Amino acid sequence: MESKRQLKFARQIQKDLADLFQQESSSLFPGNFVTVTKVRVTPDLGIARIYLSFLNTQIAQQSLNSVKAQQGEIRYKLAKKIKDQVRVIPELEFFVDDTQEYVMKMNKLFDEIEKQPKSSEEE
């Protein structure tokens, strides 16, 4: 269970990163649209785990590697935005949020189950 402090800090990081990605998407992520779907922060606020969703890209892992390669620059730009609000700028860890893919896969499985003919036991 996250504390109110963690939740508030996570929301602030999510908002600031979303603004940053929107403003600088052409230089940071050419041809990709990145959404910050979720941010989780450790209790000491030292590490922020950021979940990203990629649109307009076929290979999410490659896009994630691009984000990780620019992690220092992203952290620096985030620090410029939140430096007056926090004592320590958290380390950033980026992950692919595959929730949408999981939902689509589950829906496909449920559709296949519904299409199967009913067995004679159910009659």
The predicted-structure confidence for 62-98, as pLDDT tens digits, reads as follows 788 888 888 999 999 999 998 888 888 999 999 988 7
Pick from 36, 32, 88: nearest CA to 62 = 32
**Which CATH number is 91's domain given?**
3.30.300.20
Q: What percent of the chain has pLDDT over 90?
A: 41
Q: Residue 20 in contact with residue 3, Cβ under 8 Å? A: no
Q: What's the pTM value of the predicted model, to 2 decimals? A: 0.77
Q: 68 lies in which domain range?
A: 4-116
Kindly state whether residue 25 falls inside one of the protein's structural domains. yes
pLDDT grade for 122, boundaries at 50, 70 and 90? low
Structure tokens at 43: 């209790």
Kindly state whether residue 71 falls inside one of the protein's structural domains. yes
Q: Residue 25 in contact with residue 33, Cβ under 8 Å? A: yes
Kindly state whether residue 122 falls inside one of the protein's structural domains. no
What is the number of structural domains in the chain? 1
